[in-house]
């Protein structure tokens, strides 16, 4: 089992047992997942199996979120080129590689260093069982693209640490129409 899937399953269990009832959900606030030296490809297969085991449609959910992930990825890639062109600043050691959005993935900041690329993703809200695994894969895809752009072209292969901070990690409770709606969209 992948580190991502294990952390998602553990978090779902914690939310179910200890989460506070908030507006048709059970919620835990201020949670962090950490992924060490992994990639989109390493985690994707396990997330697909997780979705299948839970009767969810992985491809359908990924397609629903793809535009948002592309916006974040290409925005960060553009920021690297902008900083290199206008400020003659190489991405290594930059603190300016971030992008924000009003969506659930609110902010991603990349701190490229040698030998570690630190990625911090801030999620204002995430439904743990159906959306968090997909959002984490989206962050890993962005991480892989930036790693290639920043390091691989320079002949380096850094260790990666991805921290995913979640302000509201929640699951919908039975009978809540939003739960039924989200389940319809991923089945």
pLDDT in tens, 1-22: 679 999 999 999 999 999 999 9
The pLDDT assigned to 176 comes to 55
Secondary structure letter of residue 176 according to DSSP: -
3-state SS of 29-47? Answer: EEEEEEEECCCHHHHHHHH
The pLDDT assigned to 64 comes to 93
* 107, 100 Cβ separation under 8 angstroms: yes
With CA atoms as reference, report the closest residue to 42 among 185, 162, 166: 162
Take residue 70 and report the two structure tokens written for it: 């592309």
Instruction: Please report, rounded to a whole number, the percentage of residues in the chain having pLDDT higher than 90.
Output: 68
pLDDT in tens, 117-173: 999 999 999 999 999 999 999 999 999 999 988 887 778 888 899 999 999 999 988
For residue 101, give the 3-state DSSP assignment: coil
**What is the homologous superfamily of the domain 3-186 according to CATH?**
Thymidylate synthase/dCMP hydroxymethylase domain (3.30.572.10)
């Amino acid at each position: 089992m992948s580190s991502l899937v294990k952390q998602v399953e553990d978090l779902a269990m914690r939310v179910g047992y200890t989460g506070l009832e908030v507006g048709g959900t059970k919620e835990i606030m201020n949670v962090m997942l950490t992924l060490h030296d992994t990639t989109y490809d390493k985690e994707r297969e396990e997330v697909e199996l997780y979705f299948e085991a839970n009767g969810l449609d992985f491809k359908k959910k990924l397609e629903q979120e793809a535009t948002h992930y592309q916006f974040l990825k290409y925005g960060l890639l553009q920021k690297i080129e902008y900083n290199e062109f206008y400020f003659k600043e190489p991405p290594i050691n930059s603190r300016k590689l971030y992008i924000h959005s009003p969506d659930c993935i609110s902010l991603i900041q990349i701190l490229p260093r040698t030998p570690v690329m630190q990625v911090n993703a801030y999620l204002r809200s995430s439904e743990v069982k159906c959306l968090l695994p997909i959002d984490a894969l989206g962050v890993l895809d962005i991480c892989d693209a930036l790693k290639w752009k920043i390091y691989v072209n320079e002949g380096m292969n850094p260790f990666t640490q991805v921290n995913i901070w979640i302000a509201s990690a929640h699951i919908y409770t039975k009978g809540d129409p939003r739960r039924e709606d989200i389940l319809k969209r991923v089945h």
